[in-house]
Amino acid sequence: EVNGTMVVPLFASTLSDDVEVNEEVTVRVTNHADDPVSGVELQRKDGGKRLDKTDVDGKATVQFRDQGTYTLIVKKQSHPKPDHQYKKGEVEINVKRKQDSLSFDTYPSQVEVDDECEVRVVNSNNNPMKGVKVTTDAGSAATTESDGTTRLTADRVGTLTLEASKQPTSSKRFVDAET
């Protein structure tokens, strides 16, 4: 109690503290008795923009477009009882990049030295991947086109190892492929 006003703290929680970029996360807001509180505003601590408001079950759903650790502030202006007021609460959410695997969909089993060969790189959903760097253990390198293909030259006798790698984006990281 402060100056005759009963202060009611808001508590915010999530089922998981770790989510992936663009994944929905439900925030639940309760009072000191673990009762859901509706009409609570959720906003990012660093930006102040209101993200959502809790429903009758004290829940709201939010998403994040970039990786990082975000602190959400939960606040409500008025309490149903005039001699009560809510105290802001917070919850921290860790947003991670999604992970996608690269693999070689097409590659020759045998080529002659100095012959050019075509390889194709796809992701875990079998979609062609543009902008993937394909290298051989002998030093040749090329980058895939929009159809996931590129051409390399067999630059030595013997077995060549191919590796596919792609730089991470703000929302996704890639697991390299090797064959």
Full-model pTM: 0.66
Type of residue found at 166: K
DSSP 8-class letter at 46: T
CA angle 146, 148, 151 (to 5 degrees): 105
Percent of the chain residues topping a pLDDT of 70: 99
The predicted structure's pLDDT at residue 145: 96
Task: In whole angstroms, give the CA distance from residue 114 to residue 156.
Answer: 8
Interval 65-95: pLDDT, tens? 888 899 999 999 888 888 899 999 999 999 9
Q: How confident is the model at residue 175 (pLDDT cuts 50, 70, 90)?
A: confident
Question: Which residue has 């090329």 as its token pair?
Answer: 142
* Tokens read off for 50: 């209101």
* Cα distance between residue 61 and residue 55, in whole Å: 10
pLDDT at 178: 85
pLDDT in tens, 93-140: 999 988 889 999 878 888 888 888 899 999 999 999 999 999 988 888
Confidence band of 1 (pLDDT split at 50, 70, 90): low
